[in-house]
Amino acid sequence: MRKFWCAFFVFWPIVAIIYSIVASMTPSLGWWFPGASVTELGQRIDNLFYLILYIVTAVFIGTQIALVYVLWRASHSKDERAWFSHGSHSLEVIWSVVPSVILLFLALYQMDVWALFRVQAYFPKEARDAPIAEVTARQFEWRIRYPAPGKKLQLKPQPDDLYDVNDLHAPINRAVMIQLRSGDVQHSFFLPHLRVKQDAIPGQIIPIWFKAEKQGIFELTCAELCGWGHYKMRAQLTSEREVEYEAYLKKLQADQNYDGHATPSAVAKKDE
Amino acid sequence: MIARVWQLLVVVLAGAVAGCAEDASKMRFAQNAAIANPVHRKARAVVEKTLEEHFGTPLDSVAWLKLPVNYGKAEGKVKSVDGRSVIVDFNAETSDLESLKSPELSRAGLLFTSGANQGESFLLASYDPSEKSFETLLPLKTAPAEGDQFVVAGQNLRHGRKLYARHCQHCHGINGDGDGTTAKYLNPRPRDYRLGIFKFTSTNKDTKASHDDLKRILSYGIPGTYMPSFVPMLKDNELAVIVEYIRWLAMRGELEVQLLKDLKNDYAADRARKEAKESKASTSEIENQIAKQLEEYVANPTEGLAAFIETVTGDMVSAWEGAETADTVIMPPVPRVPDTVASRERGKALFVKTDGGKCINCHGPTGRGNGFQTEDFQKNDAAGGFYEKRGLHDAWDQPIKPRDLTRGIYRGGRRPIDIYRRISQGIKGTPMPPVAATVKPEQIWDLVNYVLSVPFESVPRKAAKAHSVAGQPSEHGNAN
Ligand SMILES: [Cu+2]
């Protein structure tokens, strides 16, 4: 029975390590973490994540080896008595100081990424100066308000503002900021490919910025269970070239001013 | 390995749950209680049976080919006939054969497009994919000949029903009565389709909502209500089949209302009691008489139930088909009048004129939706007399508030053409009247320009304070 426990505790860490190696070496299996972020900041966030993962892996392997060593030794000798370390001052100092140093290192090491991600004063200036849209989460959709082309987004709605729903557009390779609000309960604005996640809180306007470096359509979902229709809050971010972005706003403007006579650039782009 | 175990476990659990829900296959549409209550129960049973025949049940729906619903179809021709079994060949190019393998085909509709049975539609009792043969629910009067062509329809209805059940039913209800499980928490209430009325349409005041109108609502949602946008979650073809299912539910509800209202004249719920009081006959005698009379009504081929259904569905079909034709869509005859201060002022003058557009009566002098009509007792045209509660009511007898135009929330869309259509043709099922008959198109544009400017009008300080009861400044968000 002692041998069994020894084998049991050696088996699982080995399975975990083999799984991790296979999964990380062959991403085609889809067992590992999602692919690289499409923003530089996202990659830095990933790097922090991986750093923690490496530390945790080293600690995991170390503790498992120690555990198995103890079990193995005890299973071989019935005469040897256990050594009770309780009250050992030097041991306590070691296991307090070593993790503290690691945690302190992580806390300091991540500060600039955190500031860039969350603290408005550290946002890129071009993003801070000209938010491109106001996104209002509500049960169960994302309502988006853009300023008219060439104008700045105002806190209060303006007569020439442009509106869309569930379809956020942003130019690539430009740091852009959006103002996040909630129309009812708490939601969470989540762009998994960009590693952006921010709660939308009723009564608050929360700035978020990102700089997509890849063209494409990325998922925008709600990451906070906000009611029975939570799953319906599936929108998209279209990251496109500057010209396409401008064309999109122009089209939105034409649609919004449609009076039945002006050529509707697309009477309803969603009816295509 | 672990995944496999989980799969097995899930299958076992699902089986256990399915075991409990055995009666789901017998699930029925509930009757429109508000309209059915004053009708005799025997007549109500007739209505229920008729509807089930033509529309089936929620889980076993019938594609009634008479209705202008795009059920999705597969075409084929007869190969041979063996007793009641008809052996067929589907034209693979035009059909969605994969879905025809489903046993659910048993309740699809079949229409002969050539041969002796041309123009006749039948319900299928069974379809055997291996033999490629089907039997109709009722025996065919004339046996079809080899080469007779037919259409089988129903895939869209089934697909639409599944999507409706997943995304719409919890608010709009199994019956499309706007009374799903979450409906009671919502204000405004979800739409009850059964009157066949939808508020925000591009069509004229006498016409139904078009397929595209409903699809637009699904795509953009209705700001200020709980109706969200379903794009990009749902794809275009998914929206289309949901719309068809909703139209089908609306037509079903409409036919039900018409049948019940008609039968109420002769078969009121209290008829037996009333007549027993007036005559010497006992209630049970009169009950028997009612049963007999109903039987005759159902059986009479020329003046009975069948003829009534024929007339009513005929009108319904042309009303719904009409919505799909271009000439019912409201297009302003003149382009938008330039949005100038002068135009807005003309619009405002019209807005507050009590013998003109009469907007002020409901929307109030500053467009806050506080006109005097909201404080008045209103006539109930359907039931006669007045509503008990003060204020305006809609066709569903729900209290309704005129839009507060200062908030800049436009449920039916914020494009100038949307507002033009609302003013010109009114909003169906609500007290918002069409003004096209008395107000010229240019004047309607003036009104549009004014209405769109209301949220940005500078309100005198005092007035603003008086209205701050609502608490919030005019920002978009969740209105009531
Ligand atoms: Cu949410």
Tell me what the mean pLDDT of segment A192-209 comes to.
Answer: 96
Question: What is the residue extent of each domain of chain A?
Answer: 2-75+90-118, 125-259+267-271
- For a pLDDT cut of 70, what percent of chain B falls above it? 86
| Assembly ipTM | 0.85
Examine the pLDDT at B8 and tell me if it is beyond 60.
no
Closest approach of B477 to chain A, Cα-based (Å)? 5
Q: CB-based contact (8 Å) between B223 and chain A?
A: yes
Window from B88-92, B101-105, B443-447 with minimum mean pLDDT:
B101-105
CB–CB of B220 and A270 under 8 A? yes
Examine the pLDDT at B464 and tell me if it is beyond 80.
no
Closest approach of B215 to chain A, Cα-based (Å)? 8
> Rounded to the nearest whole angstrom, what is the distance from the C-alpha of residue A137 to the centroid of ligand 1?
7
Res A258: pLDDT: 93
Chain A contacts of B476, Cβ < 8 Å?
Answer: 136, 143, 145, 157, 183
**Contact pairs from chain A to chain B, CB under 8 Å:** 89
Tell me what the mean pLDDT of segment B25-54 comes to.
Answer: 88
Q: What is the pTM of this model?
A: 0.84
- Give chain A as a 3 state SS string: CHHHHHHHHHHHHHHHHHHHHHHHHCHHHCCCCCCCCCCHHHHHHHHHHHHHHHHHHHHHHHHHHHHHHHHHHHHHCCCCCCCCCCCCHHHHHHHHHHHHHHHHHHHHHCHHHHHHHHCHHHCCHHHHHCCCEEEEEECCEEEEEECCCCCCCCCCCCCCCEEEECEEEEECCCCEEEEEEECCCCEEEEEHHHCEEEEECCCCCEEEEECCCCCEEEEEEECCCCCCCHHHCEEEEEEECHHHHHHHHHHHHHHHCCCCCCCCCCCCHHHC
Res A75: pLDDT: 81
Res B362: pLDDT: 93
Q: How do residues B17-29 score in pLDDT, each as one tens digit?
A: 444 444 555 678 9
**Higher-pLDDT residue of B331, B24:** B331
> Rounded to the nearest whole angstrom, what is the distance from the C-alpha of residue A188 to the centroid of ligand 1?
6
Q: Which domains does chain B have, with CATH numbers?
A: 73-153 (2.40.10), 169-278+285-326 (no CATH), 341-460 (1.10.760.10)
Q: How do residues B200-239 score in pLDDT, each as one tens digit?
A: 999 999 899 999 999 999 999 999 999 999 999 999 999 9
Q: How do residues B383-423 score in pLDDT, each as one tens digit?
A: 778 888 888 999 998 899 999 999 999 999 999 999 999 99
Average pLDDT score, chain B: 84
Res B26: pLDDT: 66
Find the CB nearest B226 among A139, A157, A167: A139
Among A20-24, A233-237, B84-88, top mean pLDDT goes to: A233-237
Examine the pLDDT at B350 and tell me if it is beyond 50.
yes
- The class level of CATH for A125-259+267-271 reads mainly beta
CB–CB of A261 and B478 under 8 A? no
> Rounded to the nearest whole angstrom, what is the distance from the C-alpha of residue A230 to the centroid of ligand 1?
5
B177 vs B209: CA distance, rounded Å: 17
**Closest-CA residue in chain A for B448?**
A259
Q: CB-based contact (8 Å) between A203 and chain B?
A: no
> Rounded to the nearest whole angstrom, what is the distance from the C-alpha of residue A224 to the centroid of ligand 1?
6
